Amino acid sequence: MNELEQFREETREWIETSCPESLRSSTGQRSGTTMGGRRFPVFAEPAEDSHLWLSRAVERGYCAPTWPREYGGAGLERAQAAVLREEMLRLGAPPPVVSMGLLMFGPTLLEFGTEEQKQQHLPPIARGEISWCQGYSEPGAGSDLASLQTRCEDRGDHYSITGQKIWTSGADVADWMFCLVRSDPGAPKHEGISLILIDMNQPGVRVSPIKLISGSSPFCQTFFEEVRAEKNALVGPLHGGWTVAKRLLQYERQGISSSGFMGPTRGTDAPPELAKRYCGTSDGKVADPIIRDRLARMEMDQHCFNSTVRRTADEARAGNDVGTASSIFKYKASEDAKKRGELMVAILGTQGLGWEGDGYEPFEIDQTRTWLRSKGNSIEGGTSEVQLNIIAKRVLGLPD
Amino acid sequence: MPLVHSEEQTLLREIARDFISEKSPTGELRRLRDEPDPIGFSKSLWKEMAELGWAGIPFAEEFGGADLGHTELGVVLQECGRTLTASPLLSTIALGGTAIDLGASEALRKEVLTGVCSGQRILAVAHQEQTRHAPYATETRATKTPSGYTIAGSKTFVLDGHVADQLLVVARTSGSSRDRNGLSLFLVDAETPGITRTRTLQVDGRNAARIEFRDVEVDGQRLLGEIDRGAEILDPVLDRATAGLCAEMLGGIEAAFEHTLNYLKVREQFGTVIGSFQALKHRAAELHVEIELSRSIVIEVQQAIDSGDEAVPELVSTAKARLSETAFLMGNEGVQMLGGIGMTDEEDIGLYLKRFRVQQFTFGDASFHRDRYANLRGY
């Protein structure tokens, strides 16, 4: 047995003994996600088990498997981290904590942060203690992100921030925000932007949740009125935040594509089994031949997607250029997630049309809400159209 | 196993690309089509390919083979696919030779594969009888006689069937049509009395044959594997050939995409290159994404075959469905993006469109493989 296979065996055993049964499911879908945090901690139900699972993972640094140990990670190789992910998926164990700190901000800070910033911010993220939100979009700056207007003024011993952010996921529960601000209003639009870290627990910060078509309010509007940030809170150079911001977006795209997508699932909640239950069977097959065809297409697409993620990692290790792979993943994962949502409600039939109350299982309501929520996948984190623009320009070399 | 080619496989690709682009550009297919060549591929090119060792890639050294795998065969097929090179690689190596290798006795393997590896013997597998791929829908019968069997029936779409020296015939020895059980495989000399072969010219300039078997006598020694259990050989053979075809499709798709992309960068309308229009950029980018997915599944399925992975049937169906969809999209988008010029015979994109159409249908189209996949997955 080679080292990686040995690691797989140990990891599997650790998950079996460490992840409480109540959190595990065959589809990897859960009713809630643990986001951690200090001010308004978010833990999936049953919360006690979520706490336990988180604390066991923190002991090993497994919330941030590839981060160095000194910052709370486990210092794993990418191949080992992939094994950890695969085994968790296989055993239906949810990630102990899902956060923007882990997926987006942490990796960016590892790359661009000062030693002091890393020491201050990374370990609490890896322990799920501090939750972060992303201050990027503004009412007037969506796909054209660089036209953002939130002001950042130098007040000598600190910076003062005034403006408005929108679609700030989890801003109502976050402890900190990494925020794009206009630090030089006179410069060309890409050259006057800085990335600054803002403590959300202070006067002048106002957060108002936005209700979505799915009925939930994962996004907020955030208003800043003379909000304070320290002089050491800039990530990257003053006015040089756009490069850092783009790098962070790459991590975001990777995060969305890796978290939003499951491999072919087995067990009673797997889509084929649901199709048998809701559509009936004929000779042991899903009775509706078109649903059956769409299921096979979906499972195959997921397989090819997962293989492409694997191949890209392998090619990166082999030294081949995979620069814009994240745009491909973001585009494909979100388009496929929408198709999956459509297929799930199609499978449920009239049971996929419920909103709340009697007559529908919680699971069915959940599918319907997931279908609605999935429409945002191809909008958030850069629309599908923006991803296609990036691929056309950077990979295919098509001119503006 | 990492989903990347090894150094040796990369070197093989480079050699293959140089050789194919020099000896067999797309103009070669036009020549074969327009003459028209009575065989449908160049025998001298095949001789050179055999000298490079390509005819023996997956076969043992004792037969003159290279003792490599289907991954290497796929690398060469992918390069051949780029220029639409016609050769017996599919019929004789991926299909026929593989059937002999998997199913024949030691003596028969030696006899047949030695000729295959040297490039002298052409094989064809006669399995299809209907208008679409249905591996067990076999009405052709083999009836026991004192010395062997008598085969009667007719086959269609037999790749390289008109020039093959020997045919591997799938015949029913028991059961009824569409039963997996009751099929048997026989090796039959193509010149045996009672066999009538008619060459069919296909839309892609390649060819296949219809073959009639009128009470064709075959020796009992020429049975592959066990009687009634031919599907146990046929299934893995079709899986391997389908994976090889997928690699060939990928090569064609890549070349057609590069060609189309190049056109988008040079063709000017409205005072600028048309590749600057977002409507076309997005469609090109979508194609790129589909091609990336295709690349992953092609290398994955070949490696799975070589490592004896039990998921091979599911992977083969995933690959064939994916490559068929991508080829369909590439052919149609290619012609559309090239505009009027794309409709002309002179432009290569039409050759790709036609070859893609045949490839999509060979060994089962996307919906066939989605159905098969669903069966394999138990729904």
Rounded to 5 degrees, what angle do the CA atoms B301, B125, B31 make?
90
- Averaged pLDDT for residues A308-313: 89
Secondary structure of chain A as H, E, C letters:
CCHHHHHHHHHHHHHHHHCCHHHCCCCCCCCCCCCECCCCCECCCCHHHHHHHHHHHHHHCCCCCCCCHHHCCCCCCHHHHHHHHHHHHHCCCCCCCCCHHHHHHHHHHHHHCCHHHHHHHHHHHHCCCCCEEEECCECCECCCHHHCCCEEEECCCEEEEEEEEECCCCCCCCCEEEEEEECCCCCCCCCCEEEEEEECCCCCEEEEEECCCCCCCCEEEEEEEEEEEEHHHEECCCCEHHHHHHHHHHHHHHHHHHHCCCCCCCCCCCHHHHHHHHHCEECCEECCHHHHHHHHHHHHHHHHHHHHHHHHHHHHHCCCCCCCHHHHHHHHHHHHHHHHHHHHHHHHHHHHCCCCCCCCCHHHHHHHHHHHHHCCCCCCCCCHHHHHHHHHHHHCCCCC
CA distances to A18, B132, B192, B208, B212 from B161, rounded to whole Å, are 61, 17, 14, 6, 11
Give the chain B residue whose CA is nearest to the CA of A390.
B285
**Is the pLDDT assigned to residue B354 strictly greater than 80?**
yes
Q: Is B48 in the same domain as B144?
A: no
The answer to the question of residue A280 being in a domain is yes
Tell me whether residues A299 and B373 touch, CB distance under 8 A.
yes
Q: What is the pLDDT of residues A262-279, one digit of tens each?
A: 544 556 778 999 999 999
Asked if B189 contacts B213 with a C-beta cutoff of 8 angstroms, the reply is no
Does the CB of B10 have a partner CB in chain A at under 8 Å? no
> How high is the mean pLDDT of chain B?
97
B 270-299 residues inside an 8 A Cβ radius of A: 273, 275-276, 278, 280-282, 284-286, 288-289, 292-297, 299
**Is the pLDDT assigned to residue B379 strictly greater than 60?**
yes
Q: Is B17 in the same domain as B114?
A: yes
Q: Is B346 in the same domain as B363?
A: yes
**Is the pLDDT assigned to residue A310 strictly greater than 90?**
no
CA distances to A136, A162, B322 from A298, rounded to whole Å, are 33, 46, 11
Q: Is A52 in the same domain as A84?
A: yes
Query: For residue B260, what pLDDT band results from cuts at 50, 70 and 90?
Result: very high
Q: Is A37 in the same domain as A141?
A: no
Domain containing A73 equals: 3-98
Residue type, B33: R
CA distances to A24, B127, B350 from B205, rounded to whole Å, are 56, 22, 11
Q: Which of A300, A392, A396 sits opposite B318 (nearest CB)?
A: A300
Query: For residue A322, what pLDDT band results from cuts at 50, 70 and 90?
Result: low
Tell me whether residues B373 and A396 touch, CB distance under 8 A.
no
The answer to the question of residue A275 being in a domain is yes
Q: Is B108 in the same domain as B209?
A: no
The answer to the question of residue B74 being in a domain is yes
Q: What is the pLDDT of residues A135-189, one digit of tens each?
A: 999 999 998 999 999 999 999 999 999 999 999 989 999 999 999 999 999 999 9
- pLDDT recorded at residue A324: 74
Secondary structure of A304-363 as H, E, C letters:
HHHHHHHHHHHHHHCCCCCCCHHHHHHHHHHHHHHHHHHHHHHHHHHHHCCCCCCCCCHH
Query: For residue A30, what pLDDT band results from cuts at 50, 70 and 90?
Result: low
Tell me whether residues B2 and A318 touch, CB distance under 8 A.
yes
* Comparison of pLDDT for A252 and B40, the residue scoring more: B40
A311 CB neighbours in chain B (<8 A) are 3-4, 295-296, 299-300
Query: For residue B137, what pLDDT band results from cuts at 50, 70 and 90?
Result: very high
Q: Which of A293, A388, A398 sits opposite B275 (nearest CB)?
A: A398
Structural domain ending residue among the three candidates B91, B121, B151: B121
The answer to the question of residue B331 being in a domain is yes
Query: For residue B151, what pLDDT band results from cuts at 50, 70 and 90?
Result: very high
- pLDDT recorded at residue A24: 86
Structural domain ending residue among the three candidates A240, A270, A302: A240
Separation between Cα atoms, residue A54 and residue A18, nearest integer Å: 10
Tell me whether residues B273 and A399 touch, CB distance under 8 A.
yes
Asked if A161 contacts A227 with a C-beta cutoff of 8 angstroms, the reply is yes
Structural domain ending residue among the three candidates B94, B121, B148: B121
Query: For residue A33, what pLDDT band results from cuts at 50, 70 and 90?
Result: confident
Q: Is B244 in the same domain as B368?
A: yes
B289 CB neighbours in chain A (<8 A) are 328, 331-332, 391
- Averaged pLDDT for residues B18-45: 95
Q: Is A268 in the same domain as A374?
A: yes
Q: Is B101 in the same domain as B145?
A: no
- pLDDT recorded at residue A265: 57
B276 CB neighbours in chain A (<8 A) are 398-400
Tell me whether residues B288 and A284 touch, CB distance under 8 A.
no
Chain mean position to CA A286 = 33
Q: Is B214 in the same domain as B141?
A: yes
Give the chain B residue whose CA is nearest to the CA of A322.
B292
Separation between Cα atoms, residue B149 and residue B155, nearest integer Å: 17
- Count of positions (residues) in chain B: 379
Tell me whether residues A392 and B373 touch, CB distance under 8 A.
no
Q: What is the pLDDT of residues A340-362, one digit of tens each?
A: 999 999 999 999 999 999 999 99
B 297-356 residues inside an 8 A Cβ radius of A: 297, 299-300, 317-318, 321-322
Q: Read off the CATH number of the domain in which A9 is found.
A: 1.10.540
- Reported in sequence order, the residue ranges of chain B that DSSP labels E, i.e. its strands, are 123-126, 141-144, 148-159, 166-172, 183-189, 195-201, 207-219, 223-224, 268-269, 272-273
- Count of positions (residues) in chain A: 400
CA distance A372 to chain B (A): 24
Tell me whether residues B373 and A397 touch, CB distance under 8 A.
no
Q: Is B346 in the same domain as B248?
A: yes
Structural domain ending residue among the three candidates B203, B228, B253: B228
**Cβ of A206: how many Cβ atoms within 10 Å?**
14
Does the CB of B268 have a partner CB in chain A at under 8 Å? no
Top residue of A269, A303, A312, A321 to mutate, by most chain B CBs within 10 Å, is A303
**Is the pLDDT assigned to residue B248 strictly greater than 70?**
yes
With left for phi above 0 and alpha for psi between -120 and 50, is residue A70 left, alpha or beta?
alpha
What percent of chain B is modeled with pLDDT above 70? 100
Separation between Cα atoms, residue A220 and residue A198, nearest integer Å: 16
- Averaged pLDDT for residues B261-275: 97
Separation between Cα atoms, residue A360 and residue A352, nearest integer Å: 9
- pLDDT recorded at residue B216: 98
Active site residue A252: yes
The answer to the question of residue A92 being in a domain is yes
Q: What is the pLDDT of residues B297-318, one digit of tens each?
A: 999 999 999 999 999 999 999 9
The answer to the question of residue B224 being in a domain is yes
The answer to the question of residue A254 being in a domain is no
Q: Is B263 in the same domain as B335?
A: yes
The answer to the question of residue B106 being in a domain is yes
CA distance A27 to chain B (A): 16
Q: What is the pLDDT of residues B309-353, one digit of tens each?
A: 999 999 999 999 999 999 999 999 999 999 999 999 999 999 999
Q: Read off the CATH number of the domain in which B83 is found.
A: 1.10.540.10
Tell me whether residues A304 and B297 touch, CB distance under 8 A.
yes
The answer to the question of residue A90 being in a domain is yes
Q: Is A81 in the same domain as A182?
A: no
- pLDDT recorded at residue A250: 86
> How high is the mean pLDDT of chain A?
91
Half-sphere exposure of B164 (CA within 13 A, CB side): 38
Tell me whether residues A391 and B288 touch, CB distance under 8 A.
yes
Of A309-323, B176-190, B365-379, minimum mean pLDDT range: A309-323
B278 CB neighbours in chain A (<8 A) are 389
Place of tokens 């009239």: A350
Domain containing B186 equals: 124-228
Q: Is A231 in the same domain as A138?
A: yes
Count of structural domains within chain B: 3
Count of structural domains within chain A: 3
Q: Is B34 in the same domain as B77?
A: yes
Separation between Cα atoms, residue B81 and residue B351, nearest integer Å: 12
Q: Is A158 in the same domain as A214?
A: yes
Give the chain A residue whose CA is nearest to the CA of B261.
A396
Q: Is B370 in the same domain as B322?
A: yes
- Averaged pLDDT for residues B166-194: 97
Q: Which residues of A have a CB under 8 Å from any CB of B?
A: 264, 272-273, 275-276, 284-286, 292-293, 295-297, 299-301, 303-305, 307-308, 310-311, 314-315, 317-318, 320, 328, 331-332, 385, 387-389, 391-393, 395-400
The answer to the question of residue A116 being in a domain is no
Tell me whether residues A295 and B371 touch, CB distance under 8 A.
no
**Is the pLDDT assigned to residue A255 strictly greater than 90?**
no
Q: Is B250 in the same domain as B351?
A: yes
With left for phi above 0 and alpha for psi between -120 and 50, is residue B270 left, alpha or beta?
left
**Is the pLDDT assigned to residue A202 strictly greater than 70?**
yes
DSSP state of B90: I
Q: Which of A296, A307, A389 sits opposite B3 (nearest CB)?
A: A307
- Averaged pLDDT for residues A69-95: 91
Q: Read off the CATH number of the domain in which B298 is found.
A: 1.20.140.10
CA distance B289 to chain A (A): 6
The answer to the question of residue B67 being in a domain is yes
**Is the pLDDT assigned to residue B68 strictly greater than 70?**
yes
What percent of chain A is modeled with pLDDT above 70? 94
Chain mean position to CA A3 = 30
Q: Is A298 in the same domain as A385?
A: yes
Q: Helix, strand or coil for residue B297?
A: helix
Angle between helices A325-348 and A362-374 (to 10 degrees): 140
Top residue of B250, B266, B293, B315 to mutate, by most chain A CBs within 10 Å, is B293
The answer to the question of residue B263 being in a domain is yes
DSSP state of B129: -
**Cβ of A284: how many Cβ atoms within 10 Å?**
9
Q: Read off the CATH number of the domain in which B201 is found.
A: 2.40.110.10
Q: Is A202 in the same domain as A314?
A: no
CA distance B341 to chain A (A): 21
What number is the ipTM of this complex? 0.95
- pLDDT recorded at residue A260: 46
Q: Read off the CATH number of the domain in which A333 is found.
A: 1.20.140.10
Q: Is B279 exposed, middle or buried (0-12, 13-18, 19+ CB in 10 A)?
A: exposed
Peptide bond into B2 cis (omega under 30): no
A287 CB neighbours in chain B (<8 A) are none
CA distance A282 to chain B (A): 10
Which one of A87, A138, A252, A364 is the catalytic residue? A252
Q: Helix, strand or coil for residue B177?
A: coil
Two structure tokens written together for B298: 């092609």
CA distance A308 to chain B (A): 5
Tell me whether residues A304 and B375 touch, CB distance under 8 A.
no
What percent of chain B is modeled with pLDDT above 90? 98
Give the chain A residue whose CA is nearest to the CA of B281.
A392
Tell me whether residues B379 and A292 touch, CB distance under 8 A.
yes
A278 CB neighbours in chain B (<8 A) are none
Q: Is A301 in the same domain as A229?
A: no
The answer to the question of residue A184 being in a domain is yes
The answer to the question of residue B1 being in a domain is no
The answer to the question of residue B2 being in a domain is no
Q: What is the pLDDT of residues A279-294, one digit of tens each?
A: 999 999 999 999 999 9
Q: Which of B264, B282, B292 sits opposite A385 (nearest CB)?
A: B282
Separation between Cα atoms, residue B124 and residue B137, nearest integer Å: 18
- pLDDT recorded at residue A270: 86
Q: Give the A:B interface size as CB pairs under 8 Å.
A: 121
- pLDDT recorded at residue A259: 52
